[in-house]
Amino acid sequence: MALRWDLPALTALLLPLLAPALSAGAGACPCSEAALCRPVRHRRDFEVFVFDVGQKTWKYYDWSQITTVAVFGKYDSELMCYAHSKGARVVLKGDVSLKDIIDPTFRASWIAQKVNLAKMQYMDGINIDIEQEVDCLSPEYEALTALVEETTQRFHHEIQGSQVTFDVAWSPKNIDKRCYNYTGIAGACDFLFVMSYDEQSQIWSECIAAANAPYNQTLTGYSDYIKMGISPKKLIMGVPWYGYDYTCLNLSQDDVCNIEKVPFRGAPCSDAAGLQVPYKVIMKQVNSSVSGSQWNKDQQAPYYNYQTEPGTMAQYSGG
Ligand SMILES: *[C@@H]1O[C@H](CO)[C@@H](O)[C@H](O)[C@H]1NC(C)=O
Ligand SMILES: *[C@@H]1O[C@H](CO)[C@@H](O)[C@H](O)[C@H]1NC(C)=O
Ligand SMILES: *[C@@H]1O[C@H](CO)[C@@H](O)[C@H](O)[C@H]1NC(C)=O
Ligand SMILES: *[C@@H]1O[C@H](CO)[C@@H](O)[C@H](O)[C@H]1NC(C)=O
């Protein structure tokens, strides 16, 4: 009985969904000039890549430097028009369950859907951000490389000058149990974006607070990518604009902060014991902290200690 009512409602819902997909890119250009809806074509010999997470913070970016903005917040046509006026690309975020993309048909339809969305929104490519666990000898291992190859082919073919990038951990050494074909993926896309942050996601030694991106650890990661045969020109360095706030079980005289053991993907301790805190919050609080801004010489990174409540200390580790 209820079905009779549901059918027209369903059809009404499907039609508007299908219509834009059928005429991808045919919608009215939202920019002040039609030319601003054209994808960016020229390539530069460097990249300054930004992840935009929403609101209007993009109005404060240094647009003389930026080459690509990956939209991880809500799509904003005003941002797209502005970026294009500055010659910067605006790209989609791509994430999909790796179990699903083992099926080549599913993979093809996922890619087609992303290309259509990019065209509809006058965008210039896609940043693939898959941070899922993959076993070295699994079907997902090969499917992931195929996904990147096919996505790049399709985007480059359908949107001239478009860019396809893939996000990788700070090191290729199976961080967070991500056994990916790094050389295959690097060869298949335009750039690897190296996430040189969350470098304490798996702590194998002492369970103590450490920097989000210690200097040596960061450099070791790049050197390992390059040693695999990946060209440094394919690597974009990602730096964090946030730190971690750890509650110390105890804090030693020389500022060693023992943290709670929170296991992650096989490691006994991790940065999951802390909370991520944005740069602007850190900068507001550092001066009123117990220690003021300090510098960890080994990690080449800033930190400070503050009192959360009588008897409890916490440490912000930046980096
Ligand atoms: C990685 O991917 C490349 C390109 O698809 C392929 O030639 C290579 O055999 C793959 N490597 C492994 C270890 O599977
Ligand atoms: C500090 O806490 C850690 C972890 O609970 C413990 O192993 C260590 O003995 C403590 N040190 C002091 C000085 O209390
Ligand atoms: C914190 O202290 C530094 C150095 O004294 C100063 O330059 C900065 O303006 C202060 N920041 C705030 C938010 O008070
Ligand atoms: C960092 O790396 C340099 C060069 O490899 C080395 O000399 C130095 O001891 C390292 N520092 C730390 C704290 O590991």
Residue 319: what pLDDT? 54
Q: Ligand 4 centre and the CA of 296: distance in Å?
A: 13
The catalytic residue among 78, 131, 133, 142 is 131
Counting the structural domains of the chain, the total is 2
- Note if 47 is an active site residue: no
Which of 245, 30, 55, 207 is CA-nearest to residue 123? 30
Which of 195, 230, 254 is the C-terminal boundary of a domain? 195
Mean pLDDT along residues 281-301: 91
Same domain, 46 and 191: yes
Same domain, 160 and 274: no
From the CA of 141, give the closest atom in ligand 1: 14
Which of 172, 177, 190, 175 is CA-nearest to residue 229? 172
Query: What are the backbone dihedrals phi and psi of residue 283, each rounded to the nearest 5 degrees, phi first?
Result: -65, -25
* Residues 47/191, Cβ–Cβ less than 8 Å: yes
From the CA of 216, give the closest atom in ligand 4: 1
Domain that holds residue 300: 246-317
pLDDT category, 18, cuts 50, 70, 90? very low
Using one digit for the tens of pLDDT, what is the confidence trace for 142-185?
A: 999 999 999 999 999 999 999 999 999 999 999 888 999 999 99
CB of 85 sitting under 6 A from ligand 1: no
How far apart, in whole angstroms, are the C-alpha atoms of residue 184 and residue 103? 19
Same domain, 143 and 67: yes
Q: What is the 3-state secondary structure (H, E, C) of 122-150?
A: CCCEEEECCCCCECCCCHHHHHHHHHHHH
Q: Ligand 4 centre and the CA of 221: distance in Å?
A: 14
Residue 16 has pLDDT above 90, yes or no: no
Ligand 3 atom 7, closest CA: 287
Instruction: Give pTM, 2 decimals.
Output: 0.87
Using one digit for the tens of pLDDT, what is the confidence trace for 191-225?
A: 999 999 999 988 888 999 999 999 999 999 999 99
Q: Ligand 4 centre and the CA of 195: distance in Å?
A: 21
CB of 298 sitting under 6 A from ligand 4: yes
Ligand nearest to C-alpha 179? 1
Q: Flag whether 230 is in a domain.
A: no
Q: Flag whether 165 is in a domain.
A: yes
